[in-house]
């Protein structure tokens, strides 16, 4: 199995294109599995400034076909040409996938370096894929390891203590632009009830802002404020709240957005200035809002440009943790890749042994001598298998597992893929006419116990 990813981020393309690419992202993983036989697992990571697809394929030769199928699906759902979609994504495979996701989860690849929200988004992407049944075992291990790495970076470096996030930088920027720095006197309106809205509510509370209203076009505002505080708005009460607001923050990315003309009408008699922060990838606020008198518009691009630079030492420490974690993960993955080969070799050898013991019992019956022969042969097989097993682990750690598999096929004619199907640990029960059927010695238990010991 091979891991691959298609990555489109703020670092390579504009955020508008990222937003368009992510249209229909929620159904992409499921459709990728049903429409691409090359893909055995898929997880979609869509945030405010990135759209990434992680997949697992049977062979590295399948990645290009899987990529083409995904590009075609994204083109169909977004309305963008396949050429533009293809140019927008960079493709990673193998170790590059691991290191990139670990860096992303740790906040090292974010517009605000060291941000906190991305680690939660990575966890939620995995949970959603598991719920939908699209997460393969390899992808589950990858995302779990990425989350652990993010925790390590947060605990062991200054990036975690800074507590930076896209929301916190946006609020800092809003404070710098505001004539009144007292958050306790400000009135805020939040659009949306998702993760960013929750983070915004928490940070506003931390800064002393208690007059917070929440609007959701999907009608979830009441449930949101029930556990977090604030006032739920509906279509009728929204204009009044916006007219009196000092700050409005867009976190929803819904199809409904605040148009410039509508905002100008609502705030025609409002004397105080308004700061509008649009954190939604698909804008909650018409870009023309920023041209209105008394309105200052901040976007994700504004936040990215205003984000403070992290100290070189903290970044170096975090990068070292990510690199070490990615290397350890790949070594473990390579070791796992020879498990089926080891099982195949052991199964082949034990089948030969079982066949020979059947001949011994058929010729000599069930005797103490036959039992001693079986014990001796099984111990010998265990010793013979020890070195090939150790060598398999060593070769896998060096990335040479394919050579081991090829050697098994060349020397023993063992097909590792065919051996993947489970086989019984013991021979089938003998027919009733077999003399062994009346044998008082439990050869089955001998076989199982000795195989466990050799394992």
Catalytic amino acids?
48
Q: 191 pairs with which residues across the strands?
A: 215, 250
How far apart, in whole angstroms, are the C-alpha atoms of residue 57 and residue 36? 10
How far apart, in whole angstroms, are the C-alpha atoms of residue 115 and residue 105? 9
What is the token pair recorded at 297?
């518009």
DSSP per-residue letters across 353-391: HHHHHHHHHHHH-S-HHHHHHHHHHHHHHHHHHHHHHHH
CA distances in angstroms from 359 to 36, 354, 436, listed in the order given? 49, 9, 11
SS3 content of the chain, % helix, strand, coil (to 5): 60, 15, 30
DSSP per-residue letters across 177-213: H-S---GGG-EEEEE--SHHHHHHHHHHHHTT--EEE
CA distances in angstroms from 51 to 55, 88, 90, listed in the order given? 13, 10, 11
CB-neighbour burial class of residue 395 (10 A; exposed 0-12, middle 13-18, buried 19+): buried
Residue 256: strand, helix, or coil: coil
How far apart, in whole angstroms, are the C-alpha atoms of residue 69 and residue 72? 5
CB-neighbour burial class of residue 421 (10 A; exposed 0-12, middle 13-18, buried 19+): exposed
CB 129 within 8 A of CB 80: no
Burial 285-308 (b: 16+ CB within 10 A, else e): bbeebbebeebbbbbbebbbeebe
User: CB pairs under 8 A, 24+ apart, for 81-87?
Assistant: 84/17, 85/21
Strands ordered across the beta sheet of 247-250 = 231-233, 211-215, 187-191, 247-250, 274-278, 295-299
Residue 438's φ and ψ, nearest 5 degrees, are: -100, 10
How far apart, in whole angstroms, are the C-alpha atoms of residue 298 and residue 268? 21
CB 206 within 8 A of CB 195: no
């Amino acid at each position: 199995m091979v891991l691959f990813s298609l990555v489109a981020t703020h670092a390579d393309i504009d955020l508008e294109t990222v937003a368009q690419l992510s249209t229909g992202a929620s159904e992409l993983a499921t459709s990728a599995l049903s429409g691409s036989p090359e893909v055995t697992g898929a997880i979609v990571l869509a945030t405010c400034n990135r759209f990434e697809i992680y997949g697992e394929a049977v062979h590295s030769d399948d990645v290009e076909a899987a990529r083409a199928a995904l590009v075609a699906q994204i083109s169909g759902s977004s309305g963008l040409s396949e050429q533009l979609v293809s140019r927008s994504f960079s493709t990673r495979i193998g170790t590059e996938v691991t290191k990139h996701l670990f860096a992303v989860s740790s906040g090292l690849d974010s517009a605000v370096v060291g941000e906190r929200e991305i680690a939660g988004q990575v966890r939620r992407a995995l949970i959603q894929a598991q719920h939908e049944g699209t997460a393969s075992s390899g992808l589950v291990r990858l995302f779990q390891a990425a989350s652990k790495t993010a925790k390590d970076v947060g605990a062991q470096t200054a990036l975690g203590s800074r507590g930076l996030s896209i929301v916190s930088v946006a609020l800092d920027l809003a404070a710098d632009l505001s004539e009144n720095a007292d958050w306790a006197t400000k009135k805020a309106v939040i659009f949306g009830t998702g993760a960013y809205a929750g983070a915004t509510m928490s940070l506003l509370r931390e800064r002393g802002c208690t007059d917070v209203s929440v609007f959701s076009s999907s009608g979830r505002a009441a449930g949101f404020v029930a556990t977090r505080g604030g006032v739920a708005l509906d279509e009728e009460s929204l204009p009044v709240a916006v007219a009196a607001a000092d700050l409005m923050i867009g976190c929803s990315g819904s199809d409904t957005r605040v148009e410039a003309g509508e905002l100008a009408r609502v705030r025609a008699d409002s004397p105080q200035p308004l700061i509008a922060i649009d954190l939604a990838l698909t804008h909650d606020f018409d870009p023309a809002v920023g041209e209105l008198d008394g309105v200052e518009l901040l976007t994700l691009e504004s936040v990215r440009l205003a984000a403070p630079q992290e100290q070189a030492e903290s970044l170096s420490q975090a990068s070292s943790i990510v690199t070490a974690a990615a290397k350890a993960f790949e070594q473990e993955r390579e070791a796992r890749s020879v498990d089926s080969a080891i099982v195949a070799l052991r199964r082949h050898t034990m089948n030969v042994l079982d066949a020979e013991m059947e001949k011994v019992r058929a010729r000599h019956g069930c005797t103490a001598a036959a039992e001693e022969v079986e014990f001796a042969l099984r111990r010998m097989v265990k010793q013979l298998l020890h070195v090939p097993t150790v060598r398999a682990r060593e070769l896998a750690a060096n990335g040479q597992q394919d050579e081991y598999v090829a050697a098994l096929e060349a020397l023993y004619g063992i097909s590792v893929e065919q051996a993947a199907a489970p086989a019984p640990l013991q021979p089938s029960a003998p027919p009733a006419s077999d003399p062994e059927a009346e044998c008082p010695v439990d050869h089955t238990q001998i076989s199982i116990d000795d195989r466990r010991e050799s394992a």
